[in-house]
Amino acid sequence: MALDELKSAIPDFAKDLKLNLGSVIGNSELPQQQLWGTVLACAIASRSPKVLRELEPEARAALSAEAYTAAKSAAAIMAMNNVFYRTRHLLSDPEYGNLRAGLRMNVIGKPGVEKVDFELWSLAVSAINGCGQCLDSHEQVLRKAGVDRETIQEAVKIASVIQAVGVTLDAEAVLAE
């Protein structure tokens, strides 16, 4: 099992990450599609080759072809949107907010899976990428769709743990060179 291999690669000083990784994936109350779509989108967003290599096969096995593609699409579109909207928010000139974005984002309207699942994956990726405007936007859509705060927090917990595992393992690889 790749998850076990990933956990065993985490150094002793990061034992909490090892425990949290097992918990957020192994004990998640999210439905399988939401869980593994979140895991895959976050593994991509973490930019960690090791994390992606280890988690992708389990995600692929757990997801339909449509959900697998949609989770990758969420990571891709949010990689663009998070930079664009975070920058727009951080610029001191509010007039940028009045300009047309002019970026294609069709996948958000027709992701190929339930809108709630795609929004949850987009929110998790936005947490990794630190875009407050996107976090607010996706959280509002989810809440209006009846998703409870606990589910939203679960996705953010998965994102935070996967990101931390990626940072830790990639740093250890560099230090071992």
Residues 113, 67: contact at Cβ < 8 Å? yes
Which residue is catalytic, options 40, 41, 52, 131?
A: 131
Sign (positive/negative) of CA torsion 21, 27, 33, 35? negative
Q: Is 134 a catalytic residue?
A: yes
Which residue is catalytic, options 120, 124, 134, 165?
A: 134
Q: Is 42 a catalytic residue?
A: no
Residues annotated as part of the active site: 131, 134
